[in-house]
């Protein structure tokens, strides 16, 4: 029986090594916010990428040196609001308008996750931002799927992945080529009507792409500016997904209060909530409602600070989630734009909330339990993760099924054909 792990007695470097080695999931990770900096710089300087971006109406910066791009793409804690934080995405979307750049972005993201022992990743993005007259929605999703499949193959299944299709809360012509075309076609429509219709179309695309064999599509999400765009505007889109057995997660309680979380769960059937930072304004009743229904909150600490969703980490509900046993796995949100890895987020959570070994184990396992992967795969991953946790000194009861699952995962037996 190994001695119980005492995190305080480890050096900062040893603790970081432990967080790096943890078997992890990243359930809230935006493709367009998580590219490698050098890739964005390289693509933004590529004449072919620039020509296409220009034709489609995306303004790429003139100076594409890493020094100049860093200032633009990683607003950090100087952000004034969520809207400010979302600005770099316009540039990044400008370089992601072809099959090859989308596949590359997805591949590199999955490889970066695998390098820090993320065993299961759910990549989310809004295909609507990448659709244009030369690229269909199915092609966009296929490209991302190809990139993920390549990473799964090359790592021998050490990382497995899913795709979440995002609908956008707000309608604005600046969002991209498709939205501009929609505005041209319906010049008198209210933004709210166009937003709801674009969401419905995105949900139909997600369902159709899955029907055509893109099995990695496991869920549907609602993203974008929250204030003024309540979840119920998008009800029809979500009900189309529910009718077709897609899982649901919704960004809520970040830029708006607890009503947004409640609507996401009651109107849109959300199984998971992105952020939920303002949940305590709704009292413990809402917290316990989520807990009792096993609704998961995807926690992104650094991003929440940067978007000013919370004034400081002391105001974050993570401690309440832990004590109330709400499923609350740590996630990155945007690896590039927020400048974080999942290892960083575990280090930060420990620094500020002093997670006990038991709480770390639970936080890790919540991610596997809340994954939208099909049940058999989710169970195998969960058992494999338990085995790995035990090897790191964070074990529960020993079980042969866990050892076998970990061995199967290490041998690549879980990779899809
Ligand atoms: Zn997000």
Would you say 162 and 118 are in contact if contact means Cβ atoms under 8 Å apart? no
| Cα 369 to Cα 120: distance, rounded to the nearest angstrom | 11
From the CB of residue 59, how many other CB atoms can be counted at a distance below 10 Å?
A: 10
- Quote the DSSP letter at residue 132: B
Would you say 305 and 348 are in contact if contact means Cβ atoms under 8 Å apart? no
pLDDT range class, residue 77, cuts 50, 70, 90: low
Q: Which token pair is 309? A: 């969703």
- Position 75 scores a pLDDT of 77
Q: Which token pair is 147? A: 């990139």
Mean pLDDT (the chain) is 93
Measured in Å, residue 405 CA sits from the centre of ligand 1 at 31
Q: Which pLDDT tens digit goes with each residue over 338-381?
A: 999 999 999 999 999 999 999 999 999 999 999 999 999 999 99
Nearest 5 degrees, angle CA 388-CA 394-CA 396? 90
Q: How much is the CA Rg of the chain, to the nearest whole Å? A: 20
Residue closest to 125 by CA, chosen among 340, 334, 374: 334
| Cα 40 to Cα 80: distance, rounded to the nearest angstrom | 24
> Which residues does residue 219 pair with via DSSP β-bridges, in sequence order?
164, 247
Q: Which token pair is 160? A: 């497995």
Q: Which pLDDT tens digit goes with each residue over 99-127?
A: 999 999 999 999 999 999 999 999 999 99
| Cα 95 to Cα 336: distance, rounded to the nearest angstrom | 15
> Which residues does residue 121 pair with via DSSP β-bridges, in sequence order?
26, 161
Q: Which pLDDT tens digit goes with each residue over 279-333?
A: 999 889 999 999 999 999 999 999 999 888 888 999 999 999 999 999 999 999 9
Would you say 85 and 72 are in contact if contact means Cβ atoms under 8 Å apart? no
Spatial neighbors of 205 by CB under 8 A, at least 6 apart, are 127, 137, 138, 141, 165
Q: Which token pair is 412? A: 């690549």
Question: Residue 1 above 70 pLDDT?
Answer: no
Measured in Å, residue 402 CA sits from the centre of ligand 1 at 32
Q: Which pLDDT tens digit goes with each residue over 30-72?
A: 999 999 999 999 999 999 999 999 999 998 999 999 998 988 8
Q: Which pLDDT tens digit goes with each residue over 80-96?
A: 666 677 778 888 999 99
Residue 240 DSSP SS3: helix
Measured in Å, residue 374 CA sits from the centre of ligand 1 at 22
Residue percentage of the chain with pLDDT more than 90? 78
Catalytic residues: 254
| Cα 142 to Cα 148: distance, rounded to the nearest angstrom | 10
- Position 333 scores a pLDDT of 97
Measured in Å, residue 254 CA sits from the centre of ligand 1 at 9
118-125 vs 24-30, strand pairing mode: parallel
Spatial neighbors of 49 by CB under 8 A, at least 6 apart, are 43, 60, 95, 97, 98, 101
| Cα 238 to Cα 167: distance, rounded to the nearest angstrom | 9
**What kind of architecture, by CATH, is found in domain 14-376?**
Alpha-Beta Barrel (3.20)
Measured in Å, residue 159 CA sits from the centre of ligand 1 at 21
Give residue for tokens 């099995």.
Answer: 215
Measured in Å, residue 411 CA sits from the centre of ligand 1 at 33
- Position 190 scores a pLDDT of 92
Q: How many residues does this entry show for the chain?
A: 417
Residue 299 DSSP SS3: strand
- Quote the DSSP letter at residue 251: E
């Amino acid at each position: 029986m190994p001695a119980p792990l005492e995190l305080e007695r480890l050096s900062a470097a040893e603790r970081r090594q432990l967080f790096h080695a943890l078997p992890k999931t990243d359930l809230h990770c935006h493709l367009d916010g998580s590219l490698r900096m050098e890739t964005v710089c390289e693509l933004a300087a590529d004449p072919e990428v620039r020509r296409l971006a220009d034709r489609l109406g995306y303004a790429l910066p003139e100076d594409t040196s890493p020094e100049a791009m860093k200032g633009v793409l990683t607003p950090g804690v100087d952000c004034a609001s969520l809207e400010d934080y979302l600005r770099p995405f316009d540039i990044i979307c400008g370089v992601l308008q072809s099959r090859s750049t989308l596949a590359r972005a997805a591949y590199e993201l999955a490889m970066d996750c695998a390098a820090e022992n993320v065993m299961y990743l759910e990549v989310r993005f809004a295909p609507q931002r990448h659709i244009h007259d030369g690229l269909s929605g199915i092609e966009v999703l296929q490209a991302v799927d190809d990139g993920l499949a390549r990473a799964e193959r090359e790592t021998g299944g050490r990382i497995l992945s899913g795709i979440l299709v995002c609908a956008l809360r707000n309608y604005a012509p600046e969002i991209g080529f498709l939205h501009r075309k929609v505005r041209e076609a319906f010049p008198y429509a209210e933004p709210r009507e166009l937003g709801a219709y674009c969401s419905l179309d995105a949900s139909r695309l997600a369902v159709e792409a899955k029907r055509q064999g893109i099995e990695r599509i496991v869920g549907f999400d609602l993203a974008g500016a929250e204030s003024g765009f309540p979840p119920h505007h998008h009800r029809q889109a979500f009900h189309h997904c529910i009718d077709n057995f897609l899982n649901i997660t919704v960004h809520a309680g970040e830029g708006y209060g607890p009503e947004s979380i409640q609507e996401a769960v009651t109107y849109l059937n959300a199984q998971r909530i992105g952020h939920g930072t303002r949940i305590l304004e709704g009292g413990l009743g809402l917290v316990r409602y989520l807990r009792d229904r096993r609704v998961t909150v995807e926690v992104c600490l650094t991003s929440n600070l940067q978007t000013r969703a919370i004034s400081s980490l002391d105001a974050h509900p993570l401690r309440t989630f832990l004590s109330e046993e709400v499923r609350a796995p740590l996630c990155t949100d945007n690896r590039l734009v927020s400048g974080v890895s999942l290892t960083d987020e575990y280090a930060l959570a420990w620094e500020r909330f002093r997670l006990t070994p038991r709480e770390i184990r639970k936080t890790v396992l919540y991610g596997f339990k809340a994954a939208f992967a099909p049940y058999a795969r989710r169970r195998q991953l969960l058992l494999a993760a338990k085995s790995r946790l035990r090897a790191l000194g964070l074990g529960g009861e020993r079980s042969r099924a866990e050892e076998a699952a970990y061995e199967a995962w290490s041998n690549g037996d879980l990779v899809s054909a």
